[in-house]
Structure 1
Amino acid sequence: MPDFRNIPIVEIGPGSQASAAEDGLEYLAMPSGMQTYRAPLLPEPEDSEGLDQAHRLLAEVLAALADWQPGNRARRVDLDVLDSVNRRFVDQVLGEGEVSVAYEAAAPVRAQESVLAGVWRVQHRDQLGRVLRDTIEIGDVPELVRDATFVGADSRLDSACDTDDPALQNAPALLVELADQLASWRTGDPVHSINLSLLPLSDADLALLGERLGVGPVTILSRGYGNCRIGSTAKRNAWWIKYYNSQDALILNTIEVCDVPAVAQAAAEDIADSVERLDEILSLYRRSDA
């Protein structure tokens, strides 16, 4: 699992958008380098002696994937029962996918999606980074993202500001809009998205938005076409989302009001593909055992 300390923090203040001096007819390179599924390099079936623990655990993962439906809570499978050889085999099967999650708290958690969409390696750690619990979760997103991100967060947003301040352009109106959405939004409501890239925003606007929303405990990095960096805010159901191209230039800057941004979630059709892929892997070893 990668060192999540290297996940970039989602910037929400001055300098987080292109300045007027940077405007002009300079076309940004479009995102590239999309990751695609590659079958993992695994031991030959005849060399798989002693991997019964891993086979049984992965069969449990497969069953959970096959049973998963949108709206289901994530299923958890404990890896601490495996010896080092079996754990290494599971590591090979899972690999590393496109989405990683860092939860910063007294008991930090790091999660990494595997190459199988909807299968997450989740590690609970202590303050020194030592792994206390190592698990696999099966679902569209690790359970902590829904359960822990906004615990204790306030949905009230202070929208009062000096509308006569010449440094402010659109922040006052955006704060009123966000305050209304945060107060009324409920699970199941449509996502409310504000595209900041389409609005003239000064450094003072961005600083005020960042100050009022605050920074939450969850950072999510999604690597596909370029990077998508998602930061929870200190206000319940408010997320700040930035899309970068392959040259790390900001191409889209948004605030979303929702439970979990869709870009962070494994799609149902991708989870269905994971069922087929994992079954194909395990079928090689089933024939070997027959």
Structure 2
Amino acid sequence: MTTTTTHIAMSTAPKTQPALDIADCPPAIDVLEQLRVGLARSIAGRRAQPLSIASLSADAHALVIEALGDGEIRAELDATEAHPRALLTETSLTGVWRWRLFDPAGGLLADVLEPGDCPTPMYERPFQAARNRIDWPRDSSEDSMDAVAVLAELDTYLDLQPDSDAGIQANTRRLDINGAKDLSHSVNLSMLPQNPAAMALIERCLGQGPARMINLGYGRCQIEATSVRPIWRLRHFNSSGRLLLDSIEISPIPSVVLATTQDLTDSHERLGQLLAAIGDHGPSNFPKGQPRTALGCD
């Protein structure tokens, strides 16, 4: 685990102006309606199925992405032997996520929208190859004793976590975080007198995992999976880049990136309002001389 700032590279493709209005594009509207149904399932505590948008026409795809907008959370999952590289983003509707998979050459393998507290890859992949325990020294030098105390505390709370050989699976995911038993635990490193040797020992024992996330909602929260299941490192920075809080969290997914039931309810309502506005608008902006079938919006 490193202490350098994480840079998550997202799509570099330029945004283009859609060729028509979304009211003229039934496939785009259908995607939004399916997302609203998925949000309702998530609010009820049931898993919503991911929705592929890879086969949409270029116009319909652009209209859907434009309607959903950009949110505050970004994530990247490294490629492994079992999985390709993944980029995940939250849309402007909290709890509606977009995730894409890429082959080694950068080619797009999947383009998916998913309603819920957190997208499936973020639940399933960060700790698939992780260790279940911390390999920490029981005897150490005086300058690293503070680190040993932190590692021992984390090790104790790992005993409370549910056993899993493949991380948190989709069929056991915690959709309603307000009503679920809270097994998370956090250690505030900023409040502890850690010297460089102690911090180096903590980072060496926890290691670095394949997942990184950034939440830009309040300043900048940089989140990294460790190589121990399910331990995360979180750093909160202010607008000028000053570190405000450095902490370690034991949790399947850090709470700062999970959409709550209220978030999902608000997004369900906003999406309903958007669909109502689209319905009131009605078909009006077909490019002249070009049929709907040519646009993939039939």
TM-score, normalized by length of structure 1? 0.80
- Rounded Cα–Cα distance in structure 2 between residues aligned with 1:171 and 1:250: 20
Cα separation, 1, equivalents of 2:271 and 2:45: 22
In the alignment, the residues of structure 1 paired with residue 23 and residue 269 of structure 2 have an alpha-carbon distance, to the nearest angstrom, of: 24
Alignment of 1:161-240 (within 5 A): 161-163=138-140, 165-186=141-162, 188-240=181-233
Shift of the alpha carbon at 1:185? 2.0
Question: Structure 1: where are the runs of 5+ without partners?
Answer: 1-9, 17-41
C-alpha distance in structure 2 between counterparts of 1:71 and 1:176, whole Å: 35
**1:11 matched to 2:16:** no
**RMSD over aligned Cα, in angstroms?**
2.4
Unaligned runs of 5+ in 2: 6-16, 164-180, 284-298
1:110 matches 2:87: yes
For the 8 Å contact 2:99–2:111, the answer to whether it is kept is yes
Are the equivalent residues in 1 in contact too, given 2:41–2:47 (CA < 8 A)?
A: no
CA contact 1:228–1:241 (8 Å) conserved in 2? yes
Shift of 1:50: 4.2
Question: What is the CA-CA distance between 1:136 and the residue it aligns to?
Answer: 0.2
Residue 85 (structure 1) aligns with: 59
The one-letter code sitting in structure 1 at the alignment partner of 2:93 is L
What are the Cα deviations for residues 246-278 of structure 1, in whole angstroms up to 9, with x where unaligned?
A: 111110111111111110111221111111111
Following TM superposition, by how much is the alpha carbon of 1:221 offset from its aligned partner in structure 2, in angstroms?
Answer: 0.3
Identity %: 32
- Between stretches 118-127 and 181-190, larger displacement belongs to 181-190
Q: CA deviation at 1:48?
A: 4.4
CA-to-partner distance for each residue in 1:68-123, whole Å, 9 max, x for gaps? 13754343111023101111100111111000110012311101100000111110
CA distance in 2, matches of 1:256, 1:147: 18
CA distance in 1 between counterparts of 2:151 and 2:158 reads 10
- Deviation of residue 175 (structure 1)? 1.4
Judged with a 3 Å threshold, the aligned counterparts in structure 2 of structure 1 residues 267 and 253 are, in CA distance, closer, same or farther, namely same
Q: Residue 122 of structure 2 corresponds to which residue in structure 1?
A: 145
Q: Which letter maps to 1:11?
A: T
SS of the residue corresponding to residue 201 of structure 1 reads coil
Deviation at 1:153, TM superposition (A): 1.5
Is the alpha carbon distance of 1:193 and 1:176 closer, same or farther for their aligned partners in structure 2, counting shifts above 3 Å? same
Tell me if the contact between 1:74 and 1:143 (Cα under 8 Å) persists in the aligned partners: no
**Counterpart in 1 of 2:71?**
97
Mapped to 2, the partners of 1:272 and 1:69 lie a distance apart of 7
Matches within 5 A, 1:124-135: 124-135=101-112
Question: Mean Cα displacement is larger for which, 148-157 or 193-202?
Answer: 148-157
Residues matched between the structures, number = 252
Kept in 2, the 8 Å contact 1:221–1:228? The answer is yes
Query: What CA distance in whole angstroms lies between the structure 2 residues aligned with 1:145 and 1:47?
Result: 33
2:34 alignment partner in structure 1: 60
* Aligned counterpart for 1:73 among listed residues 25, 43, 47: 47
Asked whether the 8 Å contact 1:159–1:179 carries over to 2, the reply is: no
- Using the TM superposition, give the Cα deviation of residue 190 of structure 1 relative to its aligned residue in structure 2, in angstroms: 2.4
TM-score under structure 2 normalisation?
A: 0.78
Distance in 1, matches of 2:22 and 2:113, equals 22
CA distance in 1, matches of 2:263, 2:138: 45
Q: Which amino acid in 1 is paired with 2:189?
A: L
Contact kept, 8 Å, 2:89 with 2:97, in 1: the verdict is: yes
8 A contact 1:243–1:251 mirrored in 2: yes
1:215-256 deviations in whole A, cap 9, x for unaligned? 011101000120001111000111111111111111011111
Distance 1:78 1:220 in 2: 22
Q: Say if 1:74 and 1:140, in contact at 8 Å, map to a contact too.
A: no
Distance of 1:49 and 1:98 partners within structure 2? 27
Equivalent residues of 1:169, 1:200 under 8 A apart: no
Distance 1:201 1:75, change over 3 A: same
Cα offset, 1:167, TM superposition:
2.8
Structure 1 residue 66 displacement after superposition:
2.0
